[in-house]
Structure 1
Amino acid sequence: MNRNFILYLTLMVSFIGALGFSFYFYMKANYYDYQISEATSTYSSLPNYHFVLISEEVDHEYWRLVEEGAKEAEAVYDVYVEYKGPRNSNPEEQVRLLDMAIAAKVDGIIVQALNDEMFTPLINKAVENGIPVITIDTDVPNSSRMTYIGTDNYQSGQIAGQALIEDTNGEAVVGIIANSFSSIHQQLRIQGFKDAVENIEGIQIVAIEESNNSRVRAAEKADKILGEHEEITAFFGTSALDGLGISTSMKALQRQDDIYILAFDSLKETLDLLEQGKVDAVVAQEPFQMGYQSVERMLAIITGQQVQNVYHTNTSIIRKSDLRDWQTKVGVNP
């Protein structure tokens, strides 16, 4: 009797466990359906298309500007743009979100593709399943993506190098801090910078360190470089948080007056530092335009229109002397 009871109890527990797992995976597979139902509950009718925009870091100020551009396009066109991304930079999490979007059979995917090896197979899978993919901010041109929208990252590195040459009269000992050595766009920016200063006899790059997209880490790396190379006279930060971290380090070390800082991205705090003279120049991208144009191009693809292979948004150098003119030009309030 006891043996039968135990057997019965074991079978019941196994059945309940299996039912629970089945329900969990059902909910996971339908994740995007629940998201879009909730997001569109206030609409009188559902939008014609559902796009997913996958960022590098969901709450990063730069990516919020990309989202703002996409959401403005969403308001103009009859689409719903679902904005997703990891809390902290994590290519594995981006790939997981990409795979989930494919499983949910969304109408289009807009994704930052940080490296070829991880992202190309899934981008190709999406296209094979009839889901068009646009890469944004970082490209993998060997994939089946339909188009790339964003900065010409190699050129942005060259522009940065030219700014350094002009501002230092071709005399500088440089340390570089990059977001990630494995990210394609970071590699291109570093290479563009190196190529721009390569033939300038008075400019020497003595150290390159990695920040892992962390302001604190960037500050620590700046400290490390200065500790190992007292002759440093200039820093180049190749992504948004790198310049802020370098500035924090120079302030703590009381070196802001004698170290040239070249930052990346026109975040408000970075522009404030530029105005205060604590950053010397900024490489400015157009993240809002990236987001807006990605939605426009995705609609064009879906409706059978021809699109170019690449759409490069503008990149420019901002110095304190032309900050106001730049803000007026791009519609940013001082």
Structure 2
Amino acid sequence: MGKMDGLAISSVSTDALAPLIDKVIAAGIPVVTFNTDNPESKRLAFAGQDLVQSGREAGKLMAKVLGGKGKVMITTIDAAAQWSLDREKGAREALKAEPGLEVVSTLNTGTDPQKIYSAIENAMLANPSISGVLSLECCSTPAAGTWVERNKAADKVKVVGFDLLDQTVQLVQSGDVQATIDQAPEKQGFAAVDLLVQFLKGQTIENLDTGVGVYTKENIAEVAKK
């Protein structure tokens, strides 16, 4: 490792990266995590979304667009990952608060784009009573929206998901995805570096929640302009 003053890292794998982070810290270099945290490590602070809370917000949005009743399928590209488990926990909490809503299943789609779509298509064929699809991340959101678009099912099946991929933005504009939650990636990256700078100046730093940005047909034009 070359000489660096600080390290900001998005910790996709908690187990694999904890020893590395601790090694960097032991070398006297401050480390903060952003986007995905590594609480097992000795990192100094985390800048990002509270994942359980963001899942809760997604669940509340789903309840709202379904008018508090219906059958919901949760989709995720990696059901075993900690970020997914956290977000699912929040989503299920919010959905459970509505007696008229039932979570039918959690669909683990894997990460391959073709397979994500097929997995959603097969699940919808197997359970035509599903009226809500709640995606926990970037990549099954546009797949669910595309399924709705192709099947002209926007009046019957509501989709709520995450991130602002171009395809997702278009599907929100067309009404095939009802709402998407932005993770403010620029804000997270900026905040992580900012925390390191504060630390290097001798200030005390703590976790920073970058919040959730909710986008629907009403305000998605802001993103489309960018």
TM-score, normalisation: structure 2: 0.91
CA contact (8 A) 1:262 1:282 kept: yes
Question: Which has the larger share of helix?
Answer: 1
Contact 2:169 2:224 in 1 (8 A): no
Question: Which residue is equivalent to 1:314?
Answer: 211
In structure 2, relative to structure 1, the CA distance for the partners of 1:167 and 1:252 (3 Å cut) is closer
Q: Which residue of 2 aligns with 1:180?
A: 78
Bigger radius of gyration = 1
Contact kept in structure 2, 1:177 and 1:209, CA below 8 Å: yes
String of CA shifts for 1:123-164, please: whole Å, max 9, x gaps: 111111122211111112231101101111110110011111
Q: Residue 190 of structure 2 aligns to which amino acid in structure 1?
A: Y
How far apart are 1:166 and its partner, in Å? 1.4
Asked if residue 304 in structure 1 is aligned to residue 222 in structure 2, the reply is no
Shift, 1:271, TM fit: 1.6
The equivalent residue for 2:5 is 107
Q: Offset at 1:332? A: 6.5
Structure 2 CA distance for aligned equivalents of residues 170 and 211 of structure 1 = 26
1:333 and 2:225 equivalent? Answer: yes
1:237 paired residue number: 135
- Which stretch of structure 1 is more off in the superposition, 295-304 or 172-181? 295-304
For residues 51-95 of structure 1, the C-alpha deviation after alignment (integer angstroms, 9 at most, x for no partner) is xxxxxxxxxxxxxxxxxxxxxxxxxxxxxxxxxxxxxxxxxxxxx
Aligned residues: 226
Q: Secondary structure at the match of 2:161?
A: strand
Q: Which of the residues 200, 216, 223 maps onto 2:121? A: 223
Kindly report which structure 2 residues correspond to 1:150-229, keeping only aligned pairs within 5 A, or say none: 150-229=48-127
Q: Could you give the per-residue CA deviations for residues 272-316 of structure 1, whole angstroms, max 9, x where no partner exists?
A: 2111111111112211111112121112222322211x1011203
**Conserved in 1, the CA contact under 8 Å of 2:184 and 2:213?**
no
Partner of 2:139, secondary structure, is: helix
Match of 1:14 in 2: none
Gaps of 5+ in 1: 1-102
In structure 2, what is the Cα distance between the partners aligned to 1:111 and 1:217?
29
Contact preservation (8 Å) 1:137, 1:150: yes
Distance 1:217 1:110, change over 3 A: farther
Question: Cα 1:217–1:141, aligned 2, differ >3 Å: closer, same or farther?
Answer: same
* TM-score with structure 1 setting the length: 0.63
User: In 1, are the aligned partners of 2:74 and 2:106 still within 8 Å (CA)?
Assistant: yes
Partner of residue 258, structure 1: 156
Q: Hey, what does 1:323 align to over in structure 2? A: 220
Task: Indicate the SS of the match to 2:156.
Answer: coil
Specify which structure has the bigger relative contact order, considering alpha-carbon pairs within 8 angstroms and separated by 6 or more residues.
Answer: 2
